[in-house]
Structure 1
Amino acid sequence: MARPIKKGLDYFPLNTNIESNDKMQLIESEFGSKGFAIVVKLFCKIYAENGYYYPWTEEKKLLFAKKTGESVGLVDEIVKRSVKWGIFDEFVFNQFHVLTSKGIQSRFLEAVTRRGKVEILSELLLIDINVYKNAVNVNINSVNDDNSTQSKVNKSKVNKSNGAESPDGESSDIIISDEKKPTPPDEPKEKNNKIEKIDFVKLLQIINQNTGRNFQVINENTRKKFRARLKDGYTKETILTAIKNAPKTDYHKNNNCQYLTPEFFSRADSLDKYGNKTKVTEVKTVNTETPVGVWNV
């Protein structure tokens, strides 16, 4: 029986100045050391399993969060912000729910030059493989990632090498597969497809009242994050508790609550940190004429 073809890597290069990278600093500024650690662990997953990509499906998301010991909401938020800041390719992520990048693909192909054959899914390809002299134009039988059965794929047009060899003298082909990347299954829908509504006008009033700020609007991106937190299992009560508790901490008092924005309270890590200290059963009114209550929606 033939030995299964190895996909991933046993190790990968990590620059010693990665902490100085602007993209990583943006993640750290939002999520602290947890954000940095999650991204590095994602790199490990990518290089170890498939070599150059990692499908971010519901199943993978849950298993990854369990292994890291962090909440699913926090991990998913870090991934989304990593895509936003360009650590992972935004187009591929939005189209296929897959984590990859030009840098990841380049480092992977440089690391596997000694292998006999390397298969790359054309749907995910972000770099010009013509710079690699061992790229050839062939028909192949590829291994389907989902069920480990072989399926026929069409050939993809790339430049043909003239018997290029790796440094050890072995022929090494990079194969571009036209096999379509399976679209991840839709996430489970809520019963009756009912999504809990949020009164963002009242929510903004509560944030301004507790922080002493004067925000005028909650933008659409932040609204989507609040809705996502409810889907993740956080409750309105938890969000209200976080809004009430965060301004009372010495850190935010000393900084005049300048970091307590609507977007701050839409993050999973903020709700984990400030949303479970005390239970809020009532929120003071903005004025004596208009009661706010606990989001009368």
Structure 2
Amino acid sequence: MARPKKNGLSYFPLDVDFFEDSKIKILRARYGRDGIVFYIYLLCEIYKQGYYIQVDDDFEYIISDDLKMDQNKAKQVLNFLLSRSLFDNTLFQSDKVLTSAGIQRRFQLAVKERARKNPIEVGKFWLLKKEETEPFIKCTLFAGYSGKSEGFSGKNEGNSAEESLKKSKVNKSIYNTGFSPELERAFQTYLLVRKNNFGEIPEEQIQALRDDLLRLSDKEEERIAIVKKATASGWKSFYKTDKKSSGTQKGKVKDNNNFERRKYDMAALERSLLGDG
């Protein structure tokens, strides 16, 4: 009888400078040993399955019980890990999937010997670009594969925030971040203006901007207003809109730079992003 095909790992590498990582230092400073144990617990669960896990509504209860940790604290730690890109927040918000590009890089190195004989096929939750993926990893999302992953938020070729920025288009069919189409349009317009003012935006900063926007308000209309205000004002960050913010606001980019902001036709920019102009 053939041996069952193994998808996950029996063990995974942990860098010797793990505790020197600034994100890990902040995690430990804020949540102590609980934060570190929580993160390593999730890594074990992910690598046991392969390169990601998809959780459900019972997930927080199970992990809280396994680690003997208060459920509210577990939720706080998870939100921190997502906000610091230790896990991909876009995939978690859209598909309740826990993974990251770093996890997937370590995964493909760990399965190298095994996959040379039997290439491993990965699917819609693969975050690495084609040039980052080893030859023995066969990703169904890359060119040449006929399948489509409609409604999926993974950052494969042609649907990452970075790729959207380069193309200056909003690809509604495959780009899903949890934002409504109107909010995503406004956000992409903001990214275009910010890029023109300050240069290229790293993918991590784009995700941080999304996280900031979600934290500033839980109302769709207010989020759109925040984005449009930041776009029109040429700000480098988002600020909550209220009566006090109508004047000069502490920390705005305008106060910290001595050059004049470009003025933009917002309607024309949105048409450009949609491919109508």
Q: TM-score of the superposition, structure 2-length normalised?
A: 0.48
More helix per residue: 2
Q: TM-score of the superposition, structure 1-length normalised?
A: 0.45
